[in-house]
Amino acid sequence: MFDSSQPADGVAVERRSPEAVFALLGDDIRVGIVRALGETPDEAVPFAELHRRVGVRDSGQFNYHLGKLRDVFVRRTDAGYELTHAGRQVVGAMYAGTFTADATVENVPIDDPCPLCGGGLVAEYADEVGRIRCSACDAFRNEFAFPPGSLDQFEPDALPGAFDRWMRHVLDGVVAGFCHLCAGRMDGRLVVDPPEEQIASLPAHVEYECARCGSVARVGPHGPATFHPAVQGFLYERGHDVRTDPSWRHDALGLPETTLRSTDPPEVAVTFGDERSSLTAVLGPDATVRSLERD
């Protein structure tokens, strides 16, 4: 599962086995060192100060464990010790609560109506998945992993907006071609759906798959289309900022109409706007915008 391919010329990459890397953290003192460096992630910490922060009396023992982390999670500079990229990721995971927290949030009502049926929208959270769904129809439903450690940073009534911004943030990285879980390469592809498998009557969906860890993200074709600057500008001129306004309100401007242009190779047209003026983004097999049509 882990990529051992050769990097391009001029790129030096030394890979260690994940077993060896994670085994390094199987010790309270080492986790304490990483956590202590994470208190000031942008500053190198001198040895004596780091020793004081970790609070281990035996300096030989402290030194031994610090040495074990060197060049994997911790690096030494002239000014002291600092976290490597992997070390920062470990601290980030501690804050995100990915490995530790367990939280549930029940039905937080959203003021705006379901863009598909006009019913009531709710946000909820369970098993580390955030969900924005319509309580009246099955068609409007967004589900995505949300870090449990971020939940208590928001009041309940701010959660739906936070969920939505997080979803867009994740999608931003995915559309740019990076896995939200492992930072591996992700490629998109347009998948045509037969009528019995369609969600919200969409004739196709976009699937992004990570070439490294295999994780998959699924989104409607209008998702990647809203990252195109022409589409963002078109919606902005109509009073909607896709970067800050909740996605369900964006849909309320008139759900973009999605039509199948070709099955093989797959091609769909996503039309924003109304009869008076519209912008159509045409997506090709790799789920990128091929062309734009104004009407």
Binding site for Zn ion (CB under 5 A): 114, 116-117, 119, 134, 136-137, 140, 179, 181-182, 184, 210, 212-213, 215
d(CA 28, CA 61): 12
Nearer of residues 69 and 171 to Zn ion, judged by Cβ? 171
Nearer of residues 4 and 77 to Zn ion, judged by Cβ? 4
CA 93 to chain centre: 14
Nearer of residues 230 and 253 to Zn ion, judged by Cβ? 253
Residue 157 Cβ, how far from Zn ion at the closest point, in Å?
A: 21
State the DSSP code for 5.
Answer: P
Tell me if residue 136 falls in helix, strand or coil.
coil
Residue 20 Cβ, how far from Zn ion at the closest point, in Å?
A: 20
Tell me if residue 49 falls in helix, strand or coil.
helix
CB 117 within 8 A of CB 140: yes
Handedness of CA 166, 170, 171, 176 (dihedral sign): positive
CB 56 within 8 A of CB 32: yes
Range list of β-strands (E), 24-166: 74-77, 80-83, 105-113, 120-126, 129-134, 141-145
Angle at 172 between CA 12 and CA 182, to 5 degrees: 40
Residue 121 Cβ, how far from Zn ion at the closest point, in Å?
A: 8
Residue 140 Cβ, how far from Zn ion at the closest point, in Å?
A: 5
Residue 261 Cβ, how far from Zn ion at the closest point, in Å?
A: 27
Residue 176 Cβ, how far from Zn ion at the closest point, in Å?
A: 14
d(CA 291, CA 282): 5
Nearer of residues 36 and 132 to Zn ion, judged by Cβ? 132
Nearer of residues 103 and 170 to Zn ion, judged by Cβ? 170
CA 273 to chain centre: 28
CB 73 within 8 A of CB 87: yes
For tokens 């759906």, what's the residue?
A: 193
Nearer of residues 16 and 185 to Zn ion, judged by Cβ? 185
Whole-number CA gyration radius for the chain: 23
Handedness of CA 196, 215, 107, 242 (dihedral sign): negative
Residue 179 Cβ, how far from Zn ion at the closest point, in Å?
A: 3
Nearer of residues 18 and 67 to Zn ion, judged by Cβ? 18
Residue 118 Cβ, how far from Zn ion at the closest point, in Å?
A: 7
Nearer of residues 114 and 269 to Zn ion, judged by Cβ? 114
